[in-house]
Amino acid sequence: MSDKEIGTEETFPVLPSKNKGKGKAIPTKHDKEHLPWVEKYRPHTLSDLISLEYITSTLDKFIKERQFPHLLFYGPPGTGKTSTILACAKRLFGKDWNSSVMELNASDERGIDMVREDIKGFASTRKLFSTGSEFKLVILDEADGLTNIAQNALRRIVEDYAKNVRFCFICNNVQRLNPALQSRCTRFRFRPLKQDQIRSRIEEIAMAENVNITEDGIQALLKLCGGDMRRVLNILQSCSSRDVIDETVIYNCTGYPHPKDMERIMNSLANDEFSIAYSKIKIFMENLSMSLNDIITEVVNYFKIHEFPLSGETMAYFFRNLRLIEHNLNTGGNNTTQLAALIGAYKNALKKADK
């Protein structure tokens, strides 16, 4: 195996790029026109990934030094976990990387049979042709969904087949992965992507797609997405037919409460009598297609930036109630009943504070 075959970016063709040579693969408007933007702008090489310098440079070193360990990637959605391992696979195995990689995700069966039959079968066969690397790769995406029995069986397989196969476990919630399995892997924690780097990416994509996004539009997008690049791309694409994408377009398109609407909702909660607050907020929600879950998130955010109007103890009482309302909503609770519960909880908190 030559140094060229492993440890260089040349084994996989990069997409045509306005920024070719600057490390960013940005296809133009006419490339892959029909693809959703999350796929169209999926990074293909490690250097295309933004905001993951430490992780990509360490993986780059592993590949160059031919010391590729079992990996565990964990962290919030849309931060590049799947894209990173796919970029590694393309780099390790070249153009025909597919034949050296087994990719399993939540839509596949996650139990012991899958481990015994599929993974063991793939792991126990050696590679027939050299693709620049002597091992194969099993990617277990959404590994936190594997059953306990399957995880236990994998402990053994990971060790027994280490000569032929490297494993990459990917999950959002690392607590749900067997500690013994975790300890067999080199762990990488993915964090929400940095806002300034997401901003540059938004600007590049907006230019490539000929989309006009204003500064307050970018700010709203950054705020709503909280470091999740998939969400950024999905929102941007769904607004892309508009002549100008500003803050209002972004909030309308996502159905997320606009800061000005939130201000009105907070005023009504604090100052209106129960039945008036109830009907006002209900009309707001209906006219602007807001979900109560989003309103609750924004009520909490509101108190993060405004001074607490009540004592710590009373706010804790209010937040405990919010948690209960959120739980009820997520388990099928009715929107209007839970709206009444929200207003009741706030009014009760105010009453408690007056005593």
Ligand X SMILES: Nc1ncnc2c1ncn2[C@@H]1O[C@H](COP(=O)(O)OP(=O)(O)OP(=O)(O)O)[C@@H](O)[C@H]1O
Binding site for Mg ion (CB under 5 A): 82
Find the length of the chain.
355
One character per residue 222-261, x = contact with ligand X (rule: CB under 6 A) = -------xx--x----------------------------
Residue with smaller CB distance to ligand X, 190 or 278? 190
Residue with smaller CB distance to ligand X, 24 or 136? 24
- One-letter-per-residue 3-state SS of 185-205: CEEEECCCCCHHHHHHHHHHH
Residue with smaller CB distance to Mg ion, 86 or 208? 86
Contacts of 336 (CB under 8 A, 6+ apart): 282
Residue with smaller CB distance to ligand X, 234 or 248? 234
Taking the complex as a whole, the smallest distance from the CB of residue 176 to ligand X amounts, in Å, to 13
Taking the complex as a whole, the smallest distance from the CB of residue 74 to Mg ion amounts, in Å, to 11
Q: Are 233 and 239 in contact (CB under 8 A)?
A: no
Number of residues that bind ligand X (CB under 6 A): 20
Residue with smaller CB distance to ligand X, 31 or 216? 31
Structure token pair of residue 149: 């029995």
Taking the complex as a whole, the smallest distance from the CB of residue 209 to Mg ion amounts, in Å, to 24
Taking the complex as a whole, the smallest distance from the CB of residue 53 to ligand X amounts, in Å, to 10
Distance between CA atoms of residues 86 and 168, nearest Å: 10
String of b and e for 241-269 (b: at least 16 CB within 10 Å)? ebeebbbebbbebbebbbeebbeebbebb
Of residues 190-209, those binding ligand X (CB under 6 A) = 193
51 binds, among Mg ion, ligand X, none (CB under 5 to 8 A by kind): ligand X
Q: Are 222 and 199 in contact (CB under 8 A)?
A: yes
Taking the complex as a whole, the smallest distance from the CB of residue 76 to ligand X amounts, in Å, to 7
Residue with smaller CB distance to Mg ion, 84 or 133? 84
DSSP state of 257: P
When asked if residue 157 is in the footprint of ligand X (CB under 6 A), the reply is: no
233 binds, among ligand X, Mg ion, none (CB under 5 to 8 A by kind): ligand X
Taking the complex as a whole, the smallest distance from the CB of residue 337 to ligand X amounts, in Å, to 32
Strand order in the sheet with 101-104: 101-104, 136-140, 165-171, 71-74, 186-189
Number of helices (H), then strands (E), in the chain: 16, 5
The label of the residue with tokens 């995406």 reads 141
Choice from 14, 15, 81, 157 touching ligand X (CB under 6 A):
81
Q: Are 240 and 206 in contact (CB under 8 A)?
A: no
Residue with smaller CB distance to ligand X, 11 or 83? 83
Residue with smaller CB distance to ligand X, 46 or 299? 46
Choice from 17, 45, 82, 133 touching ligand X (CB under 6 A):
82
Structure token pair of residue 55: 């992780």
Which residue has the closest beta carbon to Mg ion? 82
When asked if residue 79 is in the footprint of ligand X (CB under 6 A), the reply is: yes
Residue with smaller CB distance to ligand X, 79 or 131? 79
Residue type, 190: F
Q: Is 137 helix (H, G, I), strand (E, B) or coil?
A: strand
One character per residue 35-54, x = contact with ligand X (rule: CB under 6 A) = ---x--xxx-----xxxx--
131 binds, among Mg ion, ligand X, none (CB under 5 to 8 A by kind): none
How many CB atoms neighbour CB 111 within 10 A?
13
7 binds, among ligand X, Mg ion, none (CB under 5 to 8 A by kind): none
- Long-range contacts from 6-10, C-beta under 8 angstroms, 24+ separation: 6/63, 6/64, 6/66, 6/91, 6/92, 6/132, 6/133, 7/60, 7/63, 7/64, 7/65, 7/66, 7/91, 8/91, 9/45, 9/46, 9/47, 9/91
324 binds, among ligand X, Mg ion, none (CB under 5 to 8 A by kind): none
Instruction: Enumerate binding residues for ligand X (CB under 6 A).
Output: 38, 41-43, 49-52, 77-83, 172, 193, 229-230, 233
